[in-house]
Amino acid sequence: MATKQQHIDLVYQNLKRVAPGFKPERQLVEHSMGKAWSQILHNAFRKDLSFLDFYVKDYKDQAVSQDADTKQYYIDLPVAIAQLPDKSEGVRAVLRGDADYSTPAYTSTQYVPVSDTTMEQMDSLDCMNAESGVVGYAVRYDKIMFDRKMTAILAAKKVHLKLVVPFDVYDATENIPVPSGQGENLVMMTIQFLMGSNQQQQ
Amino acid sequence: MAELSGQKTLKQVVDELLFMTGQPKDNFMRYLQLAIRGFKEANILHLKGFAKVTKLTVSDIKTITLPDDYQSFVGVVVPINGEYWALSEKETLVFSQSGLTLDADDGEGVDIKDSYFFEYISSGGVNKEGYFKLEEKNNRIIINSVTAGSEVMLIYVSSGINEAGTNTYVPDRIIPMLHSYILYKDAMYHGQQYQYYQDEYHRELDKVKYIEMPGLSAFRDALYQTFNPLPKR
């Protein structure tokens, strides 16, 4: 696996051969590579998002807040998330902040993804009352909203988020996972995006 | 190591299905609702042991109120010599017009007469323990020939769902049937080819029905009840 900086360096090296004299700013290369990486991820996993676990980053001890007017519990996402083709988008899991994996009951509270519309529809249904320890959440671009099963006690325990984050959230020294066999494609797609912007500039 | 529990929560039922079919958690809440629907249907139609008995006090206007988890009616009974004796259903009972008081002048709440005797060839009989009329639209049962303030037992099929936010437990033996019910209804609601899932559901349902069938001793008892000690010819 290569770091973000190594991926970017590889693009510059290839550009020397493909488009001599064209030396775009690093920020533009990073942005283009981010677009290419998102597209590759989307194409690779649109049929089975369960393989995305490999791309997840952990964000522990995330505080849960409560809206003063609506009393709805929510979390401000600590970073931007990748957009993926299902309800939970880049939020691959929400777990209890105090989950202890050494005990069999660490999953005693389950957070399950629902859409905002579904949350409203299911409010009066039996599924909201029949089981304890099931809390629905809806993902927005910068927030996670919880249904009314979220309690002050659960909120106080905070949550552990497993997020798939966009390319630009990674530090230059961090390893970037790329779907197997797509490394070459990542560089070529990035160059295509850059050449497109280069033609527009000219 | 102890044996695994014979009871599972609805949450476990849905988790098991998602795990076995490799489906994402997105479907959890929808499947949970379908599991509840399937479990309620099984309680009413197929499972034994889910009828509940509750003691209710007859009100001043001679009614009893249906419990919150009431799903379908089995009987209104009173205990006599270690057995429940059922009150009879009668659609013609006269009930309060105001819904608040009983006016005896209009025959409201008046006990059905023990018997009308004209001559010895008259036919018919009365249930001396009382009568009832089901009035689900007003969430109550009208009772007759039972004194206000006394107690009767209501036998009913409960929803089986704990509405107080606690876990709902289902017997492990019906889980394959619930899984196939969820998949069948899911395919049907999504306009997919659901025939296969429907057949699979009925196969699993047949297994449950087979388990719930009365045993040989129950049939034998029913037969013995028709016997008497008189000499047989």
How many A-B residue pairs are in contact by the CB < 8 A criterion? 61
Query: What pLDDT sits at residue B193?
Result: 87
Domain assignment of residue B91, given as a range: 51-157
Q: Confirm whether B162 is domain-assigned.
A: no
Render pLDDT for A83-105 as a digit per residue (tens, 0 to 9). Answer: 888 888 889 999 988 877 777 65
Q: Is A88 on the interface with B (CB under 8 A)?
A: yes
Residues of A in contact with B32 (CB under 8 A): 127, 130-131, 134
Q: Which two tokens stand for residue A84?
A: 């993926």
Co-location of B41 and B99 in the same domain: no
Q: At which residue do the structure tokens 């007017």 appear?
A: A69
- The alpha-carbon gap from B23 to the nearest alpha carbon of chain A, in Å, equals 9
Query: Which of B130, B157, B184 delimits the end of a domain?
Result: B157
Co-location of B197 and B180 in the same domain: yes
Co-location of B101 and B177 in the same domain: no
Among the partner residues B9, B24, B166, nearest to A50 by beta-carbon distance = B24
Co-location of B60 and B149 in the same domain: yes
Q: Confirm whether B230 is domain-assigned.
A: no
Co-location of B147 and B179 in the same domain: no
Render pLDDT for A148-186 as a digit per residue (tens, 0 to 9). Answer: 999 999 999 999 999 999 998 999 999 988 888 888 889
Query: Which of B131, B157, B183 delimits the end of a domain?
Result: B157
Count of the separate structural domains present in chain B: 2
B197: left (phi over 0), alpha (psi -120 to 50) or beta: alpha
Q: Is A124 on the interface with B (CB under 8 A)?
A: no
Render pLDDT for B106-143 as a digit per residue (tens, 0 to 9). Answer: 888 888 875 555 566 666 677 888 999 999 998 999 99
The residues of chain B scoring below 50 in pLDDT are 1
Query: What pLDDT sits at residue B116?
Result: 57
Q: Do B32 and A114 touch (CB under 8 A)?
A: no
Q: Which two tokens stand for residue A167?
A: 């390319």
Interface of B with A (CB under 8 A): 9-11, 15, 22, 24-26, 28-30, 32-33, 36, 161-168
Residues of A in contact with B28 (CB under 8 A): 110, 112-113, 134
Cα of B83 vs its chain's centroid, Å: 18
Co-location of B77 and B137 in the same domain: yes
Query: What pLDDT sits at residue A198?
Result: 57
Residues of B in contact with A164 (CB under 8 A): none
Co-location of B100 and B42 in the same domain: no
What Rg do the C-alpha atoms of chain B give, in angstroms?
Answer: 24
Q: Which amino acid is at B207?
A: K
Q: Do A129 and B28 touch (CB under 8 A)?
A: no
Q: Where are the domains of chain A?
A: 1-55+167-202, 57-163
Rounded to whole angstroms, the Cα distance separating A120 from A190 reads: 41
Nearest to A126 by CA among B110, B69, B57: B69
